[in-house]
Amino acid sequence: MSTGGAIFKLVAGFCLCSLVWPVAAEMTLINDDALSAVSGQGGIYLSGDVSINELGGPINNSYFGSCSDAGKKCGARLAFRLKETGGWMVFDDIKGSFAFEGLTLGMRTIDSGFAGDGALFNGDVVELGLPNTVRYNDVRFKLSASNMARPTDPGFQQTDMFAIEMQGGVIMEGNLLVFPTGTP
């Protein structure tokens, strides 16, 4: 081996060590107290597109997903009782789709702002950042009262009180802050 090669290897080795050394020097142990003060700062960013019984599903012909056939209910149905032996409150024919972009979920410490309330509050909240616009596509449902849980039950009678239909962009801006109240 030549002397030049040996010197090169020595210098290269030294350089490597000098790269590694400062990194090792800055590593310090965190004790339990310091560690307990560390909190995750991450959040979640959500985009969504939800379809429920829209247009009867992927196939929409005279057999599959036909909403005009009374025997094949198209919308979802949610029925609940308010009395042990009473009739049923019903959200019926729930269908449609909605989409949103940019719903955020994270933690936030509030200790200032809110015209003085922030400093008094001085705590953590779960912050749900609303998506600014939610796009509804033919969202419908009916509020009804029924004597049976299911339309196929014998003697079924139902009174539809009103139906809601929504379409297009709904402006929904701001942050929803959720936190525990009271002193358990």
Partner 1 sequence: MRSLSGLFSQIITHLPATVLGVCLASNALAELKGLSESEMSEIDGAGVGVVLENFKFSHGTDQPGAGGNNARVFKIGGIKSTSGQDVDITVNRLYISGANSNYGDNLTAVNLGRLINPWRIDVVNGNDIGIAEKAVLEFAAPAKVSSAQGYDCLSTGATAGTGTCSSRPAATNYIGERADIGMQVNVGIGADSSGNINIHAKSAVVDGSYLRLWGDDARKQMVAQFKLNFYSDELAIDVCAQDGSSCDSRIYMSDFVMELALGNQLQPLFLDVDGGGNFVIDIASIPQPSAGQIGADGLRASSNNQTWDFYNAYYTNPEYRSNFSIGNISVGSKNFGSARIQGVLIQHLSIRTKDL
Write down the least CB distance from residue 125 to partner 1, Å: 8
- C-beta separation of 169 from 133 below 8 A: yes
Task: Please report where in the chains the tokens 């269908």 appear, as a residue.
Answer: 95
Q: Whole-number minimum distance, CB 43 to partner 1, in Å?
A: 15
Q: Is 146 exposed, middle or buried (0-12, 13-18, 19+ CB in 10 A)?
A: buried
For partner 1, the closer CB: 28 or 36:
36
Closer to partner 1 at the Cβ: 15 or 164? Answer: 164
Q: In terms of Cα–Cα distance, which of 57, 61, 52 is closest to 91? A: 52
Report residue 75: phi and psi, to 5°.
Answer: -85, 160
CB of 10 to partner 1, least distance (A): 52
Nearer to partner 1, 7 or 175 (CB): 175
Residues that bind partner 1 (CB under 8 A): 36, 80-89, 110, 114-115, 117-118, 120-121, 125, 130, 142, 144-147, 149, 157-184
> Closest CB to partner 1 among 48 and 180?
180
Tokens (6 digits) for 65: 């997903």
Minimum distance, C-beta of residue 25 to partner 1, in the bound complex (Å): 32
CA 61 to chain centre: 33
Minimum CB separation from partner 1 for residue 85, in Å? 7
Q: Which is nearer to partner 1, 46 or 170 (CB)?
A: 170
Q: If 0-12 CB within 10 Å is exposed, 13-18 middle and 19+ buried, where does residue 4 land? A: exposed
- How many Cβ atoms are within 10 Å of 47's Cβ, its own excluded? 10
